[in-house]
Amino acid sequence: MTSRRDLLAALVALAATPALAAAPDALAGLDPAAVDRIGKAWRDRNPKVTARQLNARLFPVGRGSDALARLRAHAAADFRQGAVFVHRGWRLSETEGALFALLSLEGWP
Amino acid sequence: MTIIDARALPDASPIEADLLIIGGGMAGIALAKELAGGPLKVAILESGGLEIDADNQALYAGSGVQRAPGNPDRLFDDYPIQSRVRALGGSGMVWGGKCAPLDPADFAERPWIPHSGWPVTRAQMQPYYDRACDLLEIPRFPLDRPRPGEPERQPLALDPADGFFPAPREFSRFSGGNDKAAFDAFRTQFAEAANVTVYLYANVTRIRREGSEIVGLDVACLDGKRHTARAARYVLAVGGIENVRLLLASDGLGNRDDLVGRFFQGHVTYSNDGDDQNEGTAIAITRAAPMDLYAPGKGGVAHCVIGAGLPAQRRMKTGNFTATLFRVKPSEPATPVSADTETIGKAAARLAGQNDGKMLGYFAMAEHFPNPDSRVTLDPDHKDALGMPRVRLSWTYGDKDYADLERSVTGLADALGASGEGRLCWSLERNQLLAISRASRHHMGTTRMHADPRQGVVDPDLRLHEARNLYVAGSSVFPTSGIANPTLTLLALTIRLADHLKSEPLKSEIGR
């Protein structure tokens, strides 16, 4: 299972821009309760999914420096294919929903 | 300055001119300005005075209802009286001055939209749009839209294949809502021309026809005076509802094919605030750069909206659609909904490689499709103080209107997401769209322009198919309504009409 610390480190490592790379925590400022709510909302629609499955789906080749670009590309492809997740009216990619779900399962932060 | 109060004329005065313009609104004034100083003797017959007054406004009173499938009917009885102005300057007295040309797509015949297509193209309209911009003293709108160069006014980097583009809007000072003094000069100084006369408080109650020729007008004042007016040619320019009223009240003039009053199209905006379950209409922009191009710091200044161009419409099989962005403040106190919104925006920005984005509100607009069941009719049982039957407006949407709106919203959301430029929130259910929509004062389509008399009330020169010496000016001639505020387009069409009128031989037109 991916640890919370691993995931945070991965997201920091994923930084594609200097601004993000310089940030001590790529998820700084995100409301933990909100992350959990959004993640749970996605999991309500996908009740059988596990953290392991999500990790494999979101980071199939690990968390190297190109992982953020891959997530971004997956999110873009989701929008192109209509693979979306609507939360409180917001139209998000399935990839984003899965990412929030993984964070929720891990009890982020 | 020749501005005459028709109430001060002796009863039964004959008013004569080469060209009589019925209505002193934006179209009528623009036409008179174009003809000022020329050889034609021009007269404007305006129902109101120099300022808005209740007695004249009351002549507009009628009834109205908005209808849409799956939505409760919405009574709109106050709309006919509140959406127009009877005074010299017309509804320009309360206009906000916003100007935009229709898009090339609006002029195109789009097979997926019944009754679409204009008998003139956007490119053919360009010189008239340029002159209309000059008249209103605003920058011209090039046919090929340039990209603004300032960093804070960079357009969103949406995939061109998605077909959304930044559609510019400008603001003219010549509107009662922007600069009353400037507008007062705009609406009166043209009457200083030796060949132009303006008659105030002169209500045309009937257009008289013999065969295919108009032979005169009945003119009534609220104080009881009755006059007649006669010219070689006439231009009807009293607005998208009143044009219909006067034609139908004149023994159904122009209505041989039951088209007058049909195809009424209006513009509405769609937006909502969040509640305890959902966020309202909002867009989370992921980029850090300013968004002044779309959401400038103050209202009433040039900006762009996100528009769906012809490629987007063709791809989505929709009509025109725009999202107008504006700045918002986060709601206080924080709620689970607002916290989720903030988190979604931040996470999207991080995914796009930014530390933070920005949250904007927006309102959506979608083209109201031409619909023969959306119409203005007369109510013979109710008449105004001059004996004119009042109007009934049935503003009607079909299934396609709302389905296309939703598909367009989804299409924009996906384009924003796919480009990484943002995320879009839309929480409105279809059965609440009519109730939450906000109507603008744009009345279009009721005397539509078409080369085929069985499909249009006026021909491409804006001449009534049934009468060779009566023309119609204003947004009632629009075959489709697009999204843009109609004033600039109706002015461009009026300037085009002026050129046509000037080009006709003088002697042969005089029917007196």
Q: List pLDDT tens digits, range A44-90.
A: 999 999 999 999 999 998 767 788 889 999 999 999 999 999 999 99
- With 0-12 / 13-18 / 19 or more C-beta atoms within 10 angstroms meaning exposed / middle / buried, residue B132 is buried
Q: What angle do CA B416, B418, B421 make, to 5 degrees?
A: 40
**pLDDT surpassing 60 at residue B389:** yes
Q: List pLDDT tens digits, range B418-466.
A: 999 999 999 999 999 999 999 999 999 999 999 999 999 999 999 999 9
> Which chain A residue's Cα is nearest to B414?
A79
Is the ipTM above a cut-off of 0.95? no
DSSP for B329-373? ---SS--HHHHHHHHHHHHHHHHTT-S--EEEEEEEEEPPPP-TT
**pLDDT surpassing 50 at residue A24:** no
Interface membership of B424 toward A (CB under 8 Å): yes
**pLDDT surpassing 70 at residue A108:** yes
Residues of A with a Cβ under 8 Å from any B Cβ are 11, 15-17, 19-20, 23, 26-27, 29-31, 33-35, 37-38, 68, 71-72, 75-80, 82, 84, 87-93, 96, 99-100
Which pLDDT score, from 0 to 100, does residue A11 have?
Answer: 40
**Mean pLDDT, to the nearest integer, of B207-231?**
98
Which pLDDT score, from 0 to 100, does residue B146 have?
Answer: 59
**Mean pLDDT, to the nearest integer, of B271-275?**
95
CATH number at B63 reads 3.50.50.60
Spatial separation of the C-alpha atoms in residues B427 and B282, rounded to whole Å: 10
Pairing of strands B63-67, B389-396: parallel
Interface membership of B310 toward A (CB under 8 Å): no
- Chain B window 196-255: which residues touch A at a Cβ cutoff of 8 Å? none
- Domain range for residue B71? 3-509
Inter-chain touch A38–B414, beta carbons under 8 Å: no
**pLDDT surpassing 50 at residue B1:** yes
Give CA separation, B89 vs A31, B47, B92, B348, in Å: 54, 11, 5, 48
Amino acid at B502: K
Mean pLDDT of chain B: 95
Residues 6+ apart with CB under 8 A from B155: B147, B148, B165, B166, B293, B304
Q: Which residues in chain B are contacts of A78 at CB distance < 8 A?
A: 417
Q: List pLDDT tens digits, range B467-480.
A: 999 999 999 999 99
**pLDDT surpassing 80 at residue B67:** yes
> Which chain A residue's Cα is nearest to B282?
A90
Greatest alpha-carbon pair distance for chain A in Å reads 37
Q: What is the model's pTM?
A: 0.93
**pLDDT surpassing 90 at residue B56:** yes
Sheet containing B389-396: order of strands: B74-75, B63-67, B389-396, B375-383
The domain tally of chain B equals: 1
Phi then psi for B349, rounded to 5 degrees? -65, -45
The more confidently predicted of residues B94 and B144 is B94
Which pLDDT score, from 0 to 100, does residue B386 have?
Answer: 98
The beta strands (E) that lie in B52-126 are given as 63-67, 74-75, 98-99
Which pLDDT score, from 0 to 100, does residue A91 have?
Answer: 98
- Domain range for residue A84? 4-105
**Mean pLDDT, to the nearest integer, of B83-97?**
96
Interface membership of B420 toward A (CB under 8 Å): yes
Which pLDDT score, from 0 to 100, does residue A10 have?
Answer: 38
**pLDDT surpassing 60 at residue B161:** yes
Which pLDDT score, from 0 to 100, does residue B148 have?
Answer: 58
Question: Are B371 and B398 spatial neighbours (Cβ–Cβ below 8 Å)?
Answer: yes
Q: Is the dihedral of CA B437, B440, B443, B445 positive or negative?
A: negative
